[in-house]
Structure 1
C-alpha cells in the first residue's frame, strides 16, 4: 500500500508551495514598483529569477524519484 507521505509527494508539494510563493512575491513586487521603488523591485526580480532557474531542476528531481516507485 503506497504511503500518502512518500518523499516524491512531499517534494512535489514543496515545489507547488514554491510556485505559489513565487507568484505572491511577484504580485508584491509589482505593487512596490508602482510605488516608485524600482531598486527594491530589481532586487526581488533577481531573487525570483533564481527561483525560476531552480524550479526546473527541482521538478526533474522529484519526477526521477517518482519513476523509481514508492518510497
Structure 2
C-alpha cells in the first residue's frame, strides 16, 4: 500500500531510499524525492522492455533520475 500523497509504489520508494542512503547524504533528501517522484513514477510505469529500450533497468531508475545531482 502506498501513502495517499505518493505516486510511487512501495518497491519504487524502497529503491529510492536505498539509493539515497547509499550516497551517505548529510541531509534529509525528502524534498528531492518529492520533487522527482512524478518522473520516477512515469519510469516505473514502463514495462521492463520499454526501460531496456531506454538503456535502463528498473534498479537504475533512482540513479538515472538523480544523475544531475549525484553523477
Fold in common (TM above 0.5): no
| TM-score, length-scaled by structure 2 | 0.32
Choose between structure 1 and 2 for higher RCO, CA contacts under 8 A separated by at least 6 residues.
1
| TM-score, length-scaled by structure 1 | 0.32
